[in-house]
Amino acid sequence: MSNKQEFDAGGFYSALERSVRDRKVTWKEVSIDTSVSQTTLTRMGQGRQPDAASLAALSAWAGINPANYVPRLLPRNTGEQTLEKVALLFRQDSQLSDDARRKLEAIVESAYKALKVEAPKGT
């Protein structure tokens, strides 16, 4: 079995894109800072997996752990655990007031409950 199929390239690219937005930099700057070619970056936007060296450079640049994008290696959470983890991240965020944190938690919980897929019975 190919290892490439086990890497969530789309998820990794989304995280990288968020980092680019948050830092207010251009992809050109990402390419220069990481020495990852624009071909590789463009292909990643098309859902392709980067080579190992590019993945390492981009992970280091963005502070992303690529292991988090190998679904097989991640422990499966229940819904409650997911919401608890998200709530913990909001509590740790110094940019959020208590009121803002509570509102965000309510929004996420509501959206999560509306969008989650019920597990089939017996699993």
Partner 1 sequence: MKFARGFKTHCERAVTVLRAELEVDDEAPIDMHSLATHLYIPVHSLATLLITSGHSRSHPKVDEIYCKVSALTVFDGTFRTIIYNDEHPSTRHRSNMAHELAHALLQHPPRDSGLAAHQEEMHEAEAGWMGGVLMLTAGQARRIAGSRMNRTAAETQYQLSPEMLRFRLNVTGAARLAFM
Residue ranges that bind partner 1, judged by CB under 8 A: 10, 13-14, 17, 26-28, 31-32, 37-39, 41-43, 45-48
In the DSSP assignment, the letter for residue 46 is: T
DSSP alpha helix (H) spans, 9-97: 9-23, 27-34, 38-45, 52-62, 79-92
What distance in Å separates the CA atoms of residue 105 and residue 99, rounded to the nearest whole number?
Answer: 10
Do the beta carbons of residue 44 and residue 50 sit within 8 Å? yes
Torsion of CA 94, 97, 99, 104, to 10 degrees: -40
Question: How near is the Cβ of 108 to partner 1 at its closest, in Å?
Answer: 21
14 vs 81, beta carbon nearer partner 1: 14
20 vs 87, beta carbon nearer partner 1: 20
Question: How near is the Cβ of 43 to partner 1 at its closest, in Å?
Answer: 5
31 vs 83, beta carbon nearer partner 1: 31
Question: How near is the Cβ of 94 to partner 1 at its closest, in Å?
Answer: 26
Question: How near is the Cβ of 49 to partner 1 at its closest, in Å?
Answer: 11
CA 81 to each of CA 75, 77, 87, 88, 93: distance values in angstroms, whole numbers, following the listed order: 11, 6, 10, 10, 19
5 vs 94, beta carbon nearer partner 1: 5
